Amino acid sequence: MILPIYLYGQPVLRRPTEDVEPGELDVKQLVSDMYETLQAAEGCGLAAPQVGLSKRLFVVDGSELVEDYPECADFKQAFINPELIEESEETSVYSEGCLSLPGISENVTRPKTITIRYLDEDFKEHTDTFTDFKARIVLHEYDHLEAHVFTDRISPIRRQFCKGKLTNIAKGKTGARYKYKR
């Protein structure tokens, strides 16, 4: 089932998230719905707050990016109750967008390499290290669990520049072609 994506201005994007407890919700159904939603919106990552849930869960799917980032071809997985355990001092800069902030893309500086501990949808624990584009997707989604959006991480001047666009999104003036809620 395709879920509506909550846009900038929705309070849930600024709310702290809670761990997913085993059995508390149908995680497999939720993950499957989030993959479907992500695919329909042609995105590469989606976090639970973006579908209205204050839970520590996100999914990634790199299949949209294969042409530019072949290493993302099979990068499709769920991260439940993730915990960042290491971030490199080395950083990279890349222009990011977000399904909750349609029409905005800005350069964001992030660590180049990260190590993250998380559960998969069978609640099995993993610790993985990701670099470059994979690390960036994971960090962007992880930010959503910490009640951040990527424009929190841009320079004050660029944020000022985006202010009008953000206000318009919150008012529902958006060209988003996917199902959304504002």
Please give the residue ranges that form the binding site for Ni ion (CB under 5 A): 98
Min CB(93)–Ni ion separation in Å: 17
Contacts of 128 (CB under 8 A, 6+ apart): 115, 116, 118
Q: 133 near 141, Cβ under 8 Å?
A: no
Min CB(163)–Ni ion separation in Å: 18
Q: 45 near 60, Cβ under 8 Å?
A: yes
**Active site members:** 141
Helix (H) or strand (E) segment spanning residue 38? helix 27-41
Min CB(48)–Ni ion separation in Å: 12
Min CB(100)–Ni ion separation in Å: 5
What residue number has its CB nearest to Ni ion?
A: 98
The full DSSP string for 144-166 is: HHTT--GGGGS-HHHHHHHHHHH
Is residue 171 classed as helix, strand or coil in its secondary structure?
coil
Q: 99 near 41, Cβ under 8 Å?
A: yes
Rounded Cα distance between 8 and 129, Å, is: 30
Residue 119 or residue 145: which is nearer to Ni ion going by CB? 145
Residue 20 or residue 44: which is nearer to Ni ion going by CB? 44
Residue 105 or residue 127: which is nearer to Ni ion going by CB? 105
Residue 123 or residue 179: which is nearer to Ni ion going by CB? 179
Q: To which residue do tokens 């993250």 refer?
A: 116
Q: 108 near 96, Cβ under 8 Å?
A: yes
